[in-house]
Amino acid sequence: MHEFPKELTSGFSHSWEVTLPEYPTSESWNIRYLVRIKSDRLLDIPATTSDNAYQFSISSDDLKGVLLSVVPWQCVAVKGDIRKLVTNGKVKLVPDLSDTSVDFRDYPEKMLAAVDAVLEGRLDDPITEVEYNGRRLKYLPVNELLELRKMFLTMLPQNQRIQTIRMEFR
The CATH number of the domain holding residue 39 is 2.60.40.10
pLDDT band, residue 51 (cuts 50/70/90): confident
Q: Which pLDDT belongs to residue 6?
A: 93
Question: Does residue 80 sit within a domain?
Answer: yes
- Does one domain contain both 87 and 111? no
- Does one domain contain both 11 and 58? yes
- Does one domain contain both 35 and 111? no
- Does one domain contain both 88 and 114? no
Among residues 66, 94, 122, the one where a domain terminates is 94
Q: In which domain, by residue range, is 151 found?
A: 107-165
Q: Over the stretch 82-112, which tens digit does the pLDDT of each residue have?
A: 999 999 999 999 888 887 776 777 777 878 8
**Smallest Cα–Cα separation from 132: which of 140, 121, 124?**
140
The answer to whether residues 48 and 11 touch, using CB atoms and an 8 Å cutoff, is no
Q: Report the percentage of the chain scoring pLDDT > 90.
A: 43
Of the two residues 166 and 117, the one the predictor is more confident about is 117
Average confidence score pLDDT of the chain: 83
Of the two residues 158 and 128, the one the predictor is more confident about is 158
Q: Which pLDDT belongs to residue 83?
A: 97
CB atoms within 10 A of CB 161: 15
Question: Does residue 101 sit within a domain?
Answer: no
Question: Does residue 99 sit within a domain?
Answer: no
Q: How far apart are CA 136 and CA 119, in angstroms?
A: 13
Question: Does residue 170 sit within a domain?
Answer: no
pTM: 0.65
Query: Averaged over 35-53, what is the pLDDT?
Result: 92
pLDDT band, residue 115 (cuts 50/70/90): confident
Query: Averaged over 25-32, what is the pLDDT?
Result: 94
Q: Is the pLDDT of residue 11 over 70?
A: yes
Task: Give every CB contact of residue 148 below 8 A, 6+ residues apart in sequence.
Answer: 111, 115, 132, 137, 140
- Does one domain contain both 117 and 86? no
Among residues 94, 129, 144, the one where a domain terminates is 94
Among residues 39, 63, 94, the one where a domain terminates is 94
Counted domains in the chain = 2
- Does one domain contain both 89 and 161? no
Distances in Å between the Cα of 34 and the Cα atoms of 44, 80, 114, 144 are 5, 19, 37, 44
- Does one domain contain both 73 and 117? no
- Does one domain contain both 52 and 126? no
